[in-house]
Amino acid sequence: MTAFNARALASLVTVAGPALSKRLTIILTALIRAVENQTDDGLKSDINEAVSALLGSIGDQEGLQTLMLLLAGW
């Protein structure tokens, strides 16, 4: 993942709306794996901002339930 991709993803998730719930697991898993595998602190910061944007964009019950199940499974 590049810094550009992380910033673009952070922008996209804020406008995704209810469609975000359907892809939440895939997106969050990819972001967390990217953070775990990065050594560049600048890129880690951009990915962490994308994760924060993603979590802040969850606005419906389905998304919240998906997030809770995903976190409980980890």
pLDDT tens digits, one per residue of 1-55: 899 999 999 999 999 988 898 999 999 999 999 999 988 889 999 999 999 999 9
Confidence at residue 49, expressed as pLDDT on a 0 to 100 scale = 95
Provide the whole-model pTM. 0.87
Confidence at 74, pLDDT banded by 50, 70, 90: confident
| Range 32-40, long-range pairs (CB < 8 A, 24+ positions) | 34/1, 34/6, 38/1
**Cα torsion through 17, 54, 24, 41, rounded to 10:** 150
Contact 45, 3 (CB under 8 A): no
Q: Where are the domains of the chain?
A: 3-73
Q: Residue 59: is its pLDDT beyond 90? A: no
